[in-house]
Amino acid sequence: MVPAWAVVCVLLAAFVAANLPFFNERLFVVGPRRDPKPVAWRVVELLAYAGLVAVLGRLLESHLGRVSPLRWEFVAVWLCVFLTLAFPGFVWRHLRKH
């Protein structure tokens, strides 16, 4: 059984990482400022952050106990959850009138 703090930590990291591409105009938070940043870069950043958070979760899982195998179902569900967590940033960037 994974402790609750590890689950909360990964979910908070996922929420922050999923919204970073939409709230920030820099490439990967530290790159040069683009005004406005193209949608393709936002998608690339979103996928990269999803991978980083998945690695964080995997590291926490291996540190706390036995690592379970990851099949395609896990990856599909993880990407859907990550995209769902990115919804507030998407709405703020593309649907809200600025």
Rounded to two decimals, what is the model's pTM?
0.86
Rounded to whole angstroms, how far apart are CA atoms 84 and 71? 21
Among 1-10, 36-45, 76-85, where is mean pLDDT lowest? 1-10
Query: Which tens digits make up the pLDDT trace of 12-41?
Result: 999 999 999 999 888 888 888 778 888 899
Nearest CA-CA partner of 82 in 30, 40, 21: 21
- Tens-digit pLDDT profile for residues 29-78: 888 877 888 889 999 999 999 999 999 999 998 998 888 888 999 999 99
Name the domain count of the chain.
1
What pLDDT is attached to residue 2?
67
Would you tell me the crossing angle of helices 39-64 and 4-23 to the nearest 10 degrees?
A: 170
The Cα–Cα gap between 15 and 18 comes to 5
User: Measuring CA to CA, how many Å separate 17 from each of 1, 4, 26, 71?
Assistant: 25, 20, 14, 23
The range of the structural domain enclosing residue 20 comes to 4-95
